[in-house]
Structure 1
Amino acid sequence: MNELQQSIALRQEGKAEEAIVLLKKITNQEPTHAQAWYQLAWAHDNLGLERDAVPYYEKAIQLGLDKEDQAGAILGLGSTYRTLGEYTQAEKWLAQGIQLFPERREFEVFYAMVLYNLGKHTEAMQRLLIQLADTSNDSNIVDYQKAIRYYADQLDRVWE
């Protein structure tokens, strides 16, 4: 097992502090190792050190990641910005994630959260209702899927 794999295993085992030590060693030795920067960000997030995670996410994205890790890093960065109250940055990154990965529904859900934070409650609710209608296996939701989708963008309409 190489050092990167070891650091991932440590993070997954809840030993984020140990993972960080190893990941800093890797990034010092290989400053263009995008995956190590991404894992370093993730380990900081695991410890609730969101502000510290931001530059690591940004560095990993800048260096280039494979598609799966790029999606994870963009989602992580957008979500982290949201938890820090930096809603404009969060909106920017999550919108980029939706554009790059339209098939990844988690971006829509996190984007809805930041829309809520920005006071865009109607759009946030609309996006969440569509995700609920599209993804739920609950038989009662499925029965009303068409109605939920129909009303999703008419939340303020009053029928007389």
Structure 2
Amino acid sequence: MRNDDLAMAVRLREEGRKEEARTALLALAERYPDDAEVACHTAWVHDSLGLEAEAVPYYERALAGDGLTPGDRLGAFTGLGSTLRVLGRVAESRALFRRALEEFPGDPGLRVFEAMALYNAGESREAVSALLKLLVEAGHVGGYERAVAYYADNLDETV
């Protein structure tokens, strides 16, 4: 029953029937309060509806529990960190991204969202440096990897 109900709610969300999905997921979350997967999907549907504050406790419940696939756990970290940042809870967002990167070292998505949190914390230099390093690692600097890698650590260097 739980699996069928969860599959139906996820399908509703994917079909764009987000309010129906939210209703179904809230009912599931009430029936299965310790189910990390249900909590994760409940957080995602709230985020997709622009209900960031309501998503936070479900993300926290998902990350505190067991049973998430690595991909869903990564998604929950990314979603919660991003949501905290959007809500202006930048210090919490940065701490969460540090924790997430311990579990998923080097993940590019986490690093991009962490750079946004750095920017919001007033650490623009660190944010730009982090993004430049990501571009170099991804090979997206048109043959200028060496120069961009150097300046990623030396942004203030000018003639």
| TM-score band w.r.t. shorter chain | over 0.9
Residue equivalent to 2:64? 62
Look up the equivalent residue of 1:11 and give its one-letter code: R
SS in 2 for 1:2: helix
CA contact (8 A) 1:126 1:153 kept: yes
Give the deviation of 1:66 after TM superposition.
Answer: 2.5
More displaced 10-residue stretch of structure 1: 53-62 or 9-18: 9-18
Distance 1:54 1:27 in 2: 14
Give the aligned CA root-mean-square deviation in angstroms. 1.3
Distance 1:27 1:158 in 2: 55
Residue equivalent to 2:33? 31
Any residues of structure 2 matched to 1:1-160 within 5 Å, and which? 2-64=4-66, 65-137=68-140, 141-159=141-159
Distance 2:51 2:98 in 1: 24
Look up the equivalent residue of 2:134 and give its one-letter code: Q
TM-score by length of 2: 0.93
TM-score by length of 1: 0.92
Distance 2:33 2:143 in 1: 53
Distance 2:143 2:70 in 1: 35
Give the deviation of 1:68 after TM superposition.
Answer: 1.4
Look up the equivalent residue of 1:39 and give its one-letter code: H
Look up the equivalent residue of 1:26 and give its one-letter code: L
Give the deviation of 1:63 after TM superposition.
Answer: 1.3
Unaligned runs of 5+ in 2: none
Give the deviation of 1:158 after TM superposition.
Answer: 2.9
Give the deviation of 1:157 after TM superposition.
Answer: 1.8
Give the deviation of 1:24 after TM superposition.
Answer: 1.6
Aligned length: 156
Distance 2:60 2:18 in 1: 19
Look up the equivalent residue of 1:154 and give its one-letter code: N
Residues 33-61 of structure 1: CA deviation (Å, up to 9, x unaligned): 11111000000000000011001100111
More displaced 10-residue stretch of structure 1: 5-14 or 105-114: 5-14
Runs of 4 or more off by more than 2 Å in structure 1?
A: none
SS in 2 for 1:142: coil
Distance 2:110 2:33 in 1: 29
Identity %: 39
Distance 2:129 2:113 in 1: 13
Unaligned runs of 5+ in 1: none
Look up the equivalent residue of 2:142 and give its one-letter code: V
Look up the equivalent residue of 2:145 and give its one-letter code: Q
SS in 2 for 1:91: helix
